[in-house]
Amino acid sequence: MDGYTYLHLGETVDPDRYVICKYRVTSKLPIEKAADAIAAEQSTGTWTGISTLDPEIIGRLGARVTDISGDVITVGFPVEDFSVEVGSVPQILSVIAGNLFGLGALDGVRLEDVVFPREITSQFKGPKFGAEGIRRMLDRPEKPLVGTIVKPKIGLSPERTAQYVYEAGSGGLTNSKDDETLVDQAFCPIEDRTVMVSEVLDRLEEEGHRMIHAINVSARTDRIVELAERVQSWGARQIMVDVITCGFSAVQALAEDPSIKVPIHVHRTMHGAITKNPLHGVAMLPFTKLVRMCGGDALHIGTLGAGKMSADVHEDSNLGACLGDDVPYRGMMPVCSGGVYPGVVGAIVERSGFNVQIQAGGGVAGHPDGVRGGAMAMCQAVDAAYEGVPVQEYAETHRELRLALEKWGLK
């Protein structure tokens, strides 16, 4: 490429001075040449020799390929390659997930994982509330959280949305949320919806049940904090943002603004356009790490192979990225959603453990007894998993769960 090699195989780089990435590479080139091309493109190299490049620049700022294992390469980027601006995800992504995807010599490149040094993690504040903060709000210290998504995605009026939330809470659910496509449409204005949902949450609390609902504030980045402030003033207990469509900086702006005093539920809509191809794009794992760094309090991570969405091989790793203590932040609540119904709850909990939020849309609204019956069935499935009782045995004495298993079966 430019006459200089970026291969330093077998070399150990200082993890406090480098951002370390793993890429899966598909190429007709020898893997060493493909790795060299990636490291060069994303740091100091270009397609030809240039007069403005000298060995000192390459030695100090050039990326270093330290390992090649099969089709996976490990690349270290010097921390000096990254902006001194506090918490700049756009610039981070431009380095670790930039032009390399368009290199003509490569058939496919996928960023599988990234590990950031303290010099970068310290630029971010992480979640304000995190998993434990959400649990405190709900007074639910141990059991999995169990929630729903208002269905249909769009079409219900504010009154019907609020009634759905009330029925779900009356059935025992701890959480509910807007779906990703609903923000402020004419048929369901966000102010009316937020006020009416808040009123039913107050009613539920008066009846002895705590529940929170996430209002979707996904909007232009320059207006999202203002919208969140208004939603909060109308009584919202939680807000939601679509991180891929709005951007990581939108999550960060909400999390770091002192006026925002409610947890942030992060949806990953559109992620499949980037994460689904196992040989190209970006795995969900780096995105999970970035969302936690930016301050997301809860994040969708899929259903661990149990629901309708394609399973990512890294879904279990995403659990660790949400809750692990290898970064200086509060844990982020992992949310399992996407084709969930009572019969898959046990399979999810077996892989996730109890520190998880399990939520169902159609798996609640589609119950033979309606939303309240669907909520009860989901809660019963969670209780069975928590108590270690086989779900079919638990269903023998719990009608709503039995009806759900009869309709949808068991994973």
Q: Catalytic residue at 314?
A: no
Q: Catalytic residue at 8?
A: no
Which residue in the list 143, 177, 265, 267 is annotated as catalytic?
267
Which residue in the list 151, 213, 289, 411 is annotated as catalytic?
151
Distance CA 274, CA 270 (A): 8
Catalytic center residues? 151, 267
